[in-house]
Structure 1
């Protein structure tokens, strides 16, 4: 199905960026997280707590790592996975086990699903790439059933005594890996900027509460450069 709505100019540029890096996306995520990315995605899937026979939506699924982890964890549930990049979806749909997942092109700003359609919503690295975080979270609140959970993996700016050396490492390592591995320094320079320029977990938590979510919790990973946040729909 076609994506819903027309992406903004920034959205179109981000879409082109992810189309360019599709072939290297999984490898780069492994390298940039020293192999921890897949484990964090499994942690997100576990936090979704999809009931037997329930349904889950993974937004900005990329190459489907969270969606595939959810499918393995909840074999009796239905997993939907959406992304605005057709190339990412094609890569995800070609993986082992992918035939059991319902893949669809869609925009996180305008989800093509009815109110209260899912028992859980997950996403990885979505919010740092959207223009209106609150609106995107409102869409997720809308499609969640009462009592449903949202669980997300995001980057966050490091804090504390290690802040400056970690920032320096991010500024140097990510574009360098992009140049050496993906031959695309420009795309990974953008990812480096969005990593360091995104919100703190406290700021994301405040938006979640403002939208209407409750039971907001978060934990940091990887020297404070990543966070996993969960919340429930009242």
Structure 2
């Protein structure tokens, strides 16, 4: 989770939030999605599918949910899990199977990799926390090999007939769950606000196409509050 959306003071504050929530991040993701988060991470890894002996970069890896799914799916794939938060990475390294992943603290706006280094890039809840969405996606395009795929798991602003109900649920239930499950209402109040303020899948898809990605698509999840997007770098 990179935090470049914010001025330096706010950036440090939000970075502190992610450091603080690392210990109950997985539990909250499971509770907030009624257990669906694990399946979404599995779907992201399957859609990325870099092929045998390929290389996959999982950005905003957090505690490693997508990276570990990718490593389990094909043990021949070299998986790198990168995140801004040292505490998230520390938690990731304690999980079963963590030895199959290379864990790296890195900034998604300035990736420490050469051009065309990876066959696939995945990410979970990164884009809503960055200021320069296009710049971050350009970095992913840069490190992808021709023909490589990017697969994105993100929150999605609600729309349609369910919009008022979903907005109420996100504004009220998410901070309440933060208080009950994690005893931390304030951190999840931030996550609630960033969810509702994030761009639509249509907007993100347009940015991907503008950068040069092709075969862009997406599928909404969980009453339209989450979305998986995918795209390919031309071969």
Distance 1:16 1:214 in 2: 36
Q: Deviations over 1:53-83 (max 9, x none)?
A: 1100000100000000000111111000100
**Conservation of the 8 A alpha-carbon contact between 1:50 and 1:74:** no
Cα gap change, 1:144/1:182 in structure 2, threshold over 3 Å: closer, same or farther? same
The alignment's TM-score, normalised by the length of structure 1, stands at 0.96
- 3-state SS of the aligned residue for 2:134? helix
Q: Deviations over 1:103-144 (max 9, x none)?
A: 010000110000000000000000001111000000000000
How far 1:182 sits from its partner (Å)?
1.2
Distance 2:68 2:48 in 1: 13
After TM superposition, which residue ranges in structure 1, 4 or more long, deviate above 4 angstroms?
Answer: none
How far 1:12 sits from its partner (Å)?
2.5
Unpaired runs of at least 5, structure 2? none
- 3-state SS of the aligned residue for 1:148? strand
**Root-mean-square deviation over aligned CA pairs:** 1.4
Match of 1:211 in 2: 211
Question: Are 1:20 and 2:25 matched, yes or no?
Answer: no
- 3-state SS of the aligned residue for 2:161? coil
Match of 2:135 in 1: 135
Distance 1:51 1:13 in 2: 39
**Conservation of the 8 A alpha-carbon contact between 1:14 and 1:129:** no
Distance 1:227 1:101 in 2: 25
Distance 1:137 1:13 in 2: 24
Distance 1:203 1:17 in 2: 27
After TM superposition, the structure 1 = structure 2 runs for residues 1-234 of structure 1, keeping only pairs within 5 Å, are: 9=8, 10-234=10-234
Distance 2:163 2:140 in 1: 32
How far 1:8 sits from its partner (Å)?
5.1
Distance 2:14 2:152 in 1: 19
How far 1:11 sits from its partner (Å)?
3.2
Residues matched between the structures, number = 230
Distance 1:141 1:11 in 2: 25
Distance 2:183 2:109 in 1: 31
Distance 1:229 1:209 in 2: 12
- 3-state SS of the aligned residue for 1:161? helix
Unpaired runs of at least 5, structure 1? none
